[in-house]
Amino acid sequence: MAASNQQTLEKNIPAWLTILLATACGMIAANLYYAQPLVGLISSSLGLSAGSAGLIVTLTQIGYVAGLLFIVPMGDIVENRKLVVTALLVTAAALITAALAKQPFLFLTATLVVGLGSVAAQVLVPFASYLASDASRGRVVGNVMSGLLLGIMLARPLSSLVADFLGWHAIFAISAAAIVILAIVLAKVLPVRKPTAATNYTALLGSMWRLLRTTPILRRRALYHATLFAAFSLFWTTVPQLLAGPKFHFSQTAIALYALVGVAGAVAAPLAGRLADRGWTRPATAIALITVIVSVLLPLLIQTSSPVGVVVLVIAAILLDAGVSANLVLSQRSIFSLGADIRSRLNGLFMAIFFFGGAIGSAAGGWAYAAGGWSAALWLGIAFPILALLYFATERK
């Protein structure tokens, strides 16, 4: 009977469960980005030097990449619900530590663990794909990923606004409470999924290099998205500096409101999933890549502090987030179709590669903006999606 119920669930995932998984992914992913707009406040409060302040973001990213490579693959051998709930409880403990920390070392250690535990979202995404039928997998993954992307996009403005009213500690305390509640809910409602792969953890990790070497579609989709995410990270690292500078004189609240604009781009995620289900992954990928190029080209060509300049930046943000969101779903739909027993490992590799691309984009953007201003950053930023489009042109049907 249990097997029959599981098969039914896999063929027809309930709408409420899709919504819950989307919400969960958004709540978890947001933890990676809460600290980004608060680096100045946190570093001055804890006594971090200007040179060490960047560790607040960097250590979170290091923890996340480590989790993608060493925790997410466990979804292929460990019961998924238990893995997710355990990761969430570890994340909540780290968030509480961050909220209470008064010493730099304790806070930085907490951010590392927050990144490590937040990979629970990347266990839930392939989990959703397991529960969906082949015909609806793109739609389900797209809907879940739209929740994750909303969490990423809302995290920065939300933490800025909370810090304005309650101080920077509050966002970590609030998120810790929310994550504990989420862990309880998921423990009660998620179906049990115990993988059938007969392998141990050491062999599992050893197989990842072989998967990367023997899976061309994984390498290709990962490189597409690494370049797009590099442009995305570069843009969102540098545009707040532009808006806060002498050209626009935006307040922190105004910058937070501008960041909310990007939320509109998340609508592309479920649309891309539907296109993939219809077999239109290739043309949809071309559109996504071109959209990102246009999003960087517009503010490169039109630079003015007038209302027109603000409108151009708004359009650029929406197009950028839409193109990146669409390509992410198209990529995951493609790699999740390769095999149910290796899905978590494929997702861990894919996410780690493109997240590394984002780290390169952030670092390069900060350097370019400091060296040559907004124009230099945009010239560098547009090179990333152009490289992706050139590589896409070599793809065979």
Q: How far is CA 163 from CA 49, 115, 353, in A?
A: 21, 21, 32
The CATH code of the domain that includes 255 is 1.20.1250.20
Residue 24 confidence (pLDDT) above 80:
yes
End-to-end CA distance of the chain: 42
User: Domain range holding 165?
Assistant: 2-392
Q: How far is CA 29 from CA 23, 124, 267, 369, 381, in A?
A: 10, 11, 17, 27, 24
Assess if residue 361 is contained within a domain: yes
Residue 4 one-letter amino acid: S
Angstrom distance (rounded) from CA 244 to CA 381: 20
Q: Where residue 54 falls among pLDDT bands split at 50, 70, 90?
A: low
Mean pLDDT across 220-236:
92
Residue-wise pLDDT for 75-115, tens only, equals 888 999 999 999 999 999 999 999 999 999 999 999 999 99
pLDDT of amino acid 31 = 96
72: helix, coil or strand? helix
Residue-wise pLDDT for 293-346, tens only, equals 999 999 999 998 889 999 999 999 999 999 998 999 899 889 888 877 788 888
Cβ–Cβ under 8 Å, residues 57 and 35: yes
Residue 384 one-letter amino acid: F
Residue 359 DSSP label? H
pLDDT of amino acid 192 = 87
pLDDT of amino acid 251 = 80
Q: How many structural domains compose the chain?
A: 1
Is this structure's pTM higher than 0.95?
no
Residue-wise pLDDT for 149-197, tens only, equals 889 888 988 988 898 889 999 999 999 999 999 999 999 999 988 877 6
Q: Token pair for residue 332?
A: 């995951």
Please give the distance of CA 327 from its chain centroid, rounded to a whole number.
12
Triad 140, 142, 144: Cα angle to 5°: 70
pLDDT of amino acid 1 = 40
Residue 33 DSSP label? T
Angstrom distance (rounded) from CA 42 to CA 52: 11
Assess if residue 397 is contained within a domain: no
Q: Where residue 50 falls among pLDDT bands split at 50, 70, 90?
A: low
Q: In degrees rounded to 5, what are phi and psi of residue 70? A: -120, -15
Residues whose CB falls within 8 Å of the CB of residue 311, separated by 6 or more in sequence, listed in order: none
Residue 332 one-letter amino acid: Q
Q: Where residue 6 falls among pLDDT bands split at 50, 70, 90?
A: very low
